[in-house]
């Protein structure tokens, strides 16, 4: 399998690494949305959140918290978004799970907002019925 993030995560291709341990690498995004945009990736290949094992899923959030705190303190950012895309429609372009940490600054042009709709009664019922059955 030819996965660029597998090669980066395992050190075959160099990257601007902020942190590394046995299971994860944290690196700067090569096409940053903002100053300090970082990515957390597991060293093992999982395409997306559906494939990620529970143990790594919980640890990735603990690591995100640690990196978020460091970015906040080091870069004096004014906000921070966590973003994780699954599927091309959602904007995923690299099919190796990764979590974005996107620092936010006054006047930046990062666009992660939407126009809020209104939750319809019929939608609420259908969604609750279908999803709760699987949880």
Binding site for Zn ion (CB under 5 A): 3, 5-6, 45, 96
Closest to Zn ion by CB, 5 vs 24, is 5
Q: Extract the runs of DSSP E, i.e. beta strands, from the chain.
A: 17-20, 24-28, 38-42, 79-83, 99-104
CA dist., res. 80 & res. 28, Å (int): 15
Which of the residues 64 through 103 are near ligand 5GP (CB under 6 A)?
Answer: 85, 91-94
Phi-psi category of 123—alpha, beta or left, where left has phi over 0 and alpha has psi -120 to 50?
alpha
CA dist., res. 26 & res. 102, Å (int): 13
Q: Taking CB under 6 A as the rule, does residue 27 contact ligand 5GP? A: yes
49 binds, among Zn ion, ligand 5GP, none (CB under 5 to 8 A by kind): none
Give min distance, CB of 72 to ligand 5GP, in A: 20
Active-site residue flag, 98: yes
- Which residues are designated catalytic? 98
């Amino acid at each position: 399998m030819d996965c660029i993030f597998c090669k980066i995560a395992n050190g075959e291709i160099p990257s601007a690494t902020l942190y590394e341990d046995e299971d994860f690498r944290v690196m700067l995004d090569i096409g940053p949305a903002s100053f300090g945009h970082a990515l957390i990736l597991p060293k093992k290949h999982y395409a997306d959140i559906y494939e990620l094992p529970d143990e790594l899923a919980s640890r990735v959030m603990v690591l995100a918290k640690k990196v978020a705190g460091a970015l906040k303190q080091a870069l004096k950012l004014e906000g921070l978004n966590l973003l994780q895309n699954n599927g091309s429609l959602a904007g995923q372009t690299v099919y190796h799970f990764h979590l974005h940490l996107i620092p936010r600054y006054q006047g930046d042009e990062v666009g992660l907002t939407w126009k809020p709709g209104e939750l319809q009664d019929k939608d609420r019922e259908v969604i609750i019925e279908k999803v709760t059955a699987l949880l």
